[in-house]
Structure 1
Amino acid sequence: MMFASDNWSGASDAVMDALARHNAGFAPAYGADPVTERVSARFADLFDTDVTVLYTATGTAANALAMAACARPGGLIFASDVAHLHCDEWGAAEFYTHGMKIVPVAAEGGRMRPEDLSAALARTPDGGRFGTPTALSLTQATECGTLYTVDEVRALTDVARARGLVCHMDGARFANALATLDVAPADITWKAGIDVLSFGGTKNGCWCAEALVVFSDGALRDLATHRARAGHVFSKSRFVSAQFEGYLDDDHWLDLARHANAAAQRLAQGLTEAGVRIAWPVQANEVFPVLSRGRIDALKAHGVLFHEWSTQGCGPDEAIVRLVTSFRTTGDEVDAFLAAL
C-alpha cells in the first residue's frame, strides 16, 4: 500500500504514448521543434494570455530560478514557514540568488494570511539593514494539502504589490488545486496578481515535466539567461513538450488530479469513520491523520508506505503522518489501508 508520495507513481498512458509518438525521426534542438511551439501556444490558451514558457528538470529548479530572475542585493523572499522553497530545497533559492534571504511567515494549515504577511513586511522597512523585500512565494496546493481561494491569493498579492514584490506561485500540485477549486487557471494566477508560476506535471502523471510559466516578463527579465547558466535548457526539449502535450490534451491533467483527489477524500472519510482526527482539511490529494505511535508502527509492519510529518498539536504518544494519493491509487488500495487501520 503506497501512500508515501505522488512522486512514486509512474507516468500516465497518455503521456507515455505522446513520448513514443514524438520519438521517431529528427527535430530541431533547444526548443525550436514544432511540438514545443504547439505546447507553448497551448499554455497561452490555457491561461488566456500571452505567456513565456521555460522548461526545467525539477520543481526545485523552477522555484529557485524564478527567485534568481527577480533577485536584488540583500533581497528578501517571503514564504510560509512550511514552504517547500524554505524547508526542502537545500538552500537552492539562496544559492541561485547569490544570497537572498527567505523570511518565513507563520502559516495556518500551510496558508499564509495577509495580516501576517503585512506584519512581516512591516518589520523590514525600506532602507532598513535587514534587507530589501523582493518576492512573495505562495504554494498551491500547500504543503499541508490545503488551498488558497482566488480571493485569498489576490489579498496576499495586493499586500505584496504594495511593496513592489514579485509574486510567485509554486504549483507542484497545481492540477490538484484546480480540480477542487474548479476555477480557470487564469483566475487563480495572473488575474489574481501572480507574475510567474512553477507549473508541475511530474507529481500528476508526467515522467519529468516542469515549467516556468511567466505572465510578467518585465518582472523576470533575465530568467532565460539564469536557466541557461544553471544548465536547465533541454537539448531534446521535444520530449518534455511531448509529455505536456499528452498531459494537457482533452483535460487529461485535470482528470488525473480529480482521480487522486477523490482517492484522498475516500481515505479521509474512512479515517474519520474510524474515529481518527485529521490535522487539516483535505482539499487536494494529501491526508494528514493524527495516529498513535503504536498504530503507526503496526501500519508500517503491515506494509503501508507513508511518512511521519509532525508532532505539532499532538499528544505525547502521537504524530501527524502524511498520506498522499495519486492518479494510480485504486479504491482497493484505499480500502486495504482502512482494513489494516
Structure 2
Amino acid sequence: MHFFSDNATPVCPPVMAAIAAADREDHGYDRDAWSARLDGAFSDLFDTPAKAIWVASGTAANSIALACLCPPYGGIVAHEEAHVAVDECGAPAFFTHGASLMTLPGEGAKLSPDAVQERLGTIRPDVHQMPARAITITNATEYGLVYTPDEVARLSTVAKTHGMGLHMDGARFANAVAHLDCDPGDITWRAGVDVLSFGCVKNGGMVGEALVFFGPQANVRAAEAERWRKRSGHLVSKGRYLAAQILTLLEDDLWLANARAANEAAQVLAANASGRLMYSVQANELFLELTAAEAASLRAQGFEFHDWGEGAARIVTNWSQDAASVEVLAQALRALG
C-alpha cells in the first residue's frame, strides 16, 4: 500500500468524468465556459466576492501569488521548513525577479505572530535593507498542523500593521477545513488572507490548482496574476480541462468529502501509533518515530512511505482511503508495540 504522498493517488472518478465531459470544442486558454465560472464558484464557496484563476501546479500558484504581493527588492516572511523555502527550487525568487525569503523557525512548521513581529523589528526603514512585503503560511502545515482562524487573524494583524500582504499555501487547505469543521471563509478572507493557493491535485485532481484573491485589491492582483501566468509559461491552451476539475471538486462539497476521508484514515492510524507520534495528527499526515528495523518490517509487509530523517517516517493518507482500507496498516503499527 502506498503512503508516500497524496500527490501519488489516483484521480477522483467524478474529476475524471469532468475531464471527459470537457472534451469538446470551446475557446482556448481561459476564455472557455468552465474557466468563466471560477469567479462565481469560489465567491459562492467563500461567501464573498472573489477572483479565481487556474494554474498548472502548486509551485506556480504559490510563486505567482507572492509575485503579486512582493516586489523584486522585497522580502517574504516564511517558515524555514515551508514548501516555498525547501521544495520549490527557488521558484518564489524566480517569479518575483529577486525577492528573498525571510525564514523563521516555529513548532510544527507554524509561524508565530511574536516571532514575525520580532523579525520585522530588526529591519531598518532605509534603502539599504530589504523591506518585508508579504507573509506566507501553509495550512495545513508541512507537519500536518492546522492554523485556526484566530492564529491566521493574529498573523494578518501583524501583516496589515506593516503594510504587508498575507498568502496562504493551501495545498492541503481542504484537510485543514475538514479538521476545523469551519466555514472556509473563517480561515481565509475573514481572518485577513489576501490570496489563497487552493489545492486540488492532492485532493483528487489530475493537474491544476486555483489561485483565489480576496479583498479590495482582488481584481488588480488577479489581473496581474494572469500576466505572470502567461509570462511564466503556465497559460495552457486548453485550460478548460483544468477548470473543469476544479469546478467538479467544488460541486456538492466533493473537495470536503475527499479531505474528510483522508483525515479519518489518518486518525485511525494515529490511534494505533502507540505513542510514536512526533506531532498531533490534524490533517492527513503522520510523522512517526520508527527505528530502521521497524521501518524495514513495515516495508516487508508491503507498506511504502518516506523516511523522515534518522529514526522517523512520514505516512500520508489520501482521498481514496478510509478507515477500513487502512486498518491493515493500523494493525501493523499496533503490532510494533
More moved, 94-103 vs 209-218: 209-218
**Judging changes above 3 Å, is the alpha-carbon distance between structure 1 residues 53 and 296 closer, same or farther for their aligned structure 2 residues?**
same
Q: Which residue of 2 aligns with 1:43?
A: 42
Determine the C-alpha separation between the residues in 2 that align with 1:290 and 1:333: 23
Determine the C-alpha separation between the residues in 2 that align with 1:126 and 1:6: 43
Determine the C-alpha separation between the residues in 1 that align with 2:166 and 2:83: 16
Report the alpha carbon displacement of residue 219 of structure 1 after superposing the two structures with TM.
5.5
Equivalences for 1:79-228 in 2 at 5 Å?
A: 79-127=78-126, 129-215=128-214, 216-217=217-218, 218=220, 222-228=224-230
8 Å contact from structure 1 (residues 176, 284) kept in 2: yes
Matched, 1:236 2:235: no
Equivalences for 1:294-313 in 2 at 5 Å?
A: 294-311=293-310
Matched, 1:260 2:262: yes
Q: TM-score, normalised by structure 2?
A: 0.94
Q: 1:113-143: per-residue Cα shift (whole Å, max 9, x none)? A: 1111111111223226331111100100000
Report the alpha carbon displacement of residue 335 of structure 1 after superposing the two structures with TM.
2.0
Q: Over aligned residues, Cα RMSD in angstroms?
A: 1.5
Equivalences for 1:278-297 in 2 at 5 Å?
A: 278-297=277-296
Report the alpha carbon displacement of residue 112 of structure 1 after superposing the two structures with TM.
1.0
8 Å contact from structure 1 (residues 56, 211) kept in 2: yes
Where 1:222 maps in the other structure, the secondary structure is: helix
The runs of 4+ residues in structure 1 deviating greater than 6 Å are: none
Structure 2 residues without counterparts, runs of 5 or longer: none
Report the alpha carbon displacement of residue 339 of structure 1 after superposing the two structures with TM.
3.2
Where 1:250 maps in the other structure, the secondary structure is: helix
Determine the C-alpha separation between the residues in 1 that align with 2:221 and 2:124: 21
- Could you tell me which amino acid in structure 1 is paired with residue 293 of structure 2? G
* % same residue: 41
- Could you tell me which amino acid in structure 1 is paired with residue 314 of structure 2? R
Q: Which residue of 1 aligns with 2:14?
A: 14
8 Å contact from structure 2 (residues 210, 246) kept in 1: no
8 Å contact from structure 1 (residues 166, 219) kept in 2: no
Report the alpha carbon displacement of residue 334 of structure 1 after superposing the two structures with TM.
1.9
Report the alpha carbon displacement of residue 330 of structure 1 after superposing the two structures with TM.
4.2
Structure 1 residues without counterparts, runs of 5 or longer: 312-318
- Could you tell me which amino acid in structure 2 is paired with residue 268 of structure 1? A
Determine the C-alpha separation between the residues in 2 that align with 1:49 and 1:222: 20
More moved, 210-219 vs 12-21: 210-219
8 Å contact from structure 2 (residues 108, 143) kept in 1: yes
Match of 1:327 among 309, 319, 332: 319
Number of residue pairs matched?
330
Determine the C-alpha separation between the residues in 2 that align with 1:220 and 1:113: 28
Where 1:109 maps in the other structure, the secondary structure is: helix
Determine the C-alpha separation between the residues in 2 that align with 1:248 and 1:98: 33
**Judging changes above 3 Å, is the alpha-carbon distance between structure 1 residues 68 and 129 closer, same or farther for their aligned structure 2 residues?**
same
Determine the C-alpha separation between the residues in 1 that align with 2:299 and 2:57: 29
Matched, 1:65 2:67: no
Q: Which residue of 2 aligns with 1:340?
A: 332
Determine the C-alpha separation between the residues in 1 that align with 2:285 and 2:72: 37
Where 2:43 maps in the other structure, the secondary structure is: helix
More moved, 234-243 vs 127-136: 127-136
- Could you tell me which amino acid in structure 1 is paired with residue 52 of structure 2? V
- Could you tell me which amino acid in structure 2 is paired with residue 255 of structure 1? A
Where 1:271 maps in the other structure, the secondary structure is: coil
Determine the C-alpha separation between the residues in 1 that align with 2:222 and 2:137: 17
Report the alpha carbon displacement of residue 212 of structure 1 after superposing the two structures with TM.
0.8
Report the alpha carbon displacement of residue 262 of structure 1 after superposing the two structures with TM.
0.1
- Could you tell me which amino acid in structure 1 is paired with residue 281 of structure 2? V
Q: Which residue of 2 aligns with 1:315?
A: none
Report the alpha carbon displacement of residue 203 of structure 1 after superposing the two structures with TM.
0.1
Determine the C-alpha separation between the residues in 2 that align with 1:28 and 1:220: 20
Determine the C-alpha separation between the residues in 2 that align with 1:303 and 1:10: 18
